[in-house]
């Protein structure tokens, strides 16, 4: 692909490449996605997900990556731009896999006979997810990010530290901060519960 070859020359310097993505340079983002296309196709095939998800996965991964690198204090350290991006892609695909399993087992459309209880359970779960999203937005960064990585994205503490997905450089400091964050989210949940009374 001519663009890929051209991009290889233009974005050969990692720092320049990262800055271009940070500033939203569409050529840099397309080049990053091109570099990850083969890997992503293989991963979708391995996870038995349809190939039409390719563009969606690459776009979601790009949005997450740009948000991540625009976080104050973010640093790649010794990781390459493309390597870091591939880790994000792995996570996006993993979420798609979990979503597909959930959809296959739980969606209302796939249930032949619905009891009142199962309908209520479905809407209750949906409301709970909306509440979680609201609580996370209220506690702000870095707490929302730390809790999302652990409990929604399924990252282990070691993966978060090794992948430099948070500002914390040790598992211990990450756990201490997350404990503080959980106190914050519990306080917010209590306020929400009081407001509902």
What's the pLDDT tens digit per position in 52-82?
888 889 988 998 998 888 888 888 777 789 8
Q: What is the DSSP letter of 152?
A: I
Q: Please state the rounded mean pLDDT for residues 163-176.
A: 89
Kindly state whether residues 57 and 10 are assigned to the same domain.
yes
pLDDT band at 126 (very low <50, low <70, confident <90, very high): low
Kindly state whether residues 119 and 95 are assigned to the same domain.
no
Beta-strand runs (E) in 8-161: none
pLDDT band at 140 (very low <50, low <70, confident <90, very high): confident
Kindly state whether residues 22 and 67 are assigned to the same domain.
yes
- Considering only residues 9 and 184, tell me which one the structure prediction assigns the higher pLDDT: 184
Q: Write phi, then psi, for 133 (nearest 5 degrees).
A: -60, -40
Q: Which residue range forms the structural domain that includes residue 150? A: 113-197
Question: Residue 118: pLDDT above 80?
Answer: no
Alpha-carbon distance of 103 to 22, in angstroms, equals 34
Q: What is this structure's pTM?
A: 0.50
Kindly state whether residues 101 and 149 are assigned to the same domain.
no
Kindly state whether residues 79 and 141 are assigned to the same domain.
no
Position 170 scores a pLDDT of 93
Kindly state whether residues 151 and 169 are assigned to the same domain.
yes
Query: Which residues 6+ apart lie within 8 Å of 132 measured at CB?
Result: 152
Position 4 scores a pLDDT of 46
Handedness of CA 54, 82, 149, 46 (dihedral sign): positive
For the chain, the domain total comes to 2
Last residue of a domain, one of 91, 106, 121: 106
Query: Tell me, what CATH number does 7's domain have?
Result: 1.10.1740
Last residue of a domain, one of 57, 81, 106: 106
Question: Helices then strands (H, E): number in the chain?
Answer: 9, 0
Kindly state whether residues 2 and 76 are assigned to the same domain.
yes
Alpha-carbon distance of 168 to 145, in angstroms, equals 12
Kindly state whether residues 26 and 1 are assigned to the same domain.
yes
Question: Which candidate, 63, 185, 177, 196, places its Cα nearest to that of 136?
Answer: 185
Kindly state whether residues 12 and 97 are assigned to the same domain.
yes
Alpha-carbon distance of 161 to 137, in angstroms, equals 23
Angle at 40 between CA 25 and CA 61, to 5 degrees: 40
Alpha-carbon distance of 187 to 189, in angstroms, equals 5
3-state secondary structure 5-41: HHHHHHCCCHHHHHHHHHCCCHHHHHHHHHHHHHHHH
Q: Mind listing the pLDDT tens digit for each residue in 85-115?
A: 999 999 999 888 876 544 444 444 444 444 4
How many Cα atoms within 13 Å fall on the side-chain side of residue 169? Answer: 5
């Amino acid at each position: 692909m001519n663009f890929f070859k051209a991009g290889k020359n233009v974005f050969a310097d990692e720092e320049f490449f990262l800055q271009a993505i940070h500033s939203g340079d569409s050529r840099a983002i397309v080049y990053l996605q091109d570099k990850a296309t083969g890997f992503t196709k293989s991963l979708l095939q391995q996870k038995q997900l349809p190939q039409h998800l390719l563009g969606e996965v690459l776009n979601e991964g790009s949005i997450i990556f740009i948000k991540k690198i625009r976080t104050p204090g973010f640093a790649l350290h010794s990781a390459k731009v493309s390597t870091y991006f591939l880790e994000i892609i792995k996570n996006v695909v993993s979420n798609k896999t979990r979503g597909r399993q959930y959809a296959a087992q739980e969606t209302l459309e796939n249930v032949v006979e619905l009891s009142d209880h199962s309908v209520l359970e479905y809407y209750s779960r949906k409301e709970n997810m909306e509440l979680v999203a609201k609580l996370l937005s209220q506690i702000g960064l870095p707490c929302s990010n730390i809790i999302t990585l652990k409990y929604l994205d399924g990252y282990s503490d070691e993966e978060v530290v090794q992948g430099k997905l948070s500002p914390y450089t040790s598992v211990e400091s990450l756990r201490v901060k997350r404990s503080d964050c959980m106190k914050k989210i519990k306080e917010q949940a209590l306020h929400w519960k009081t407001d509902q009374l």
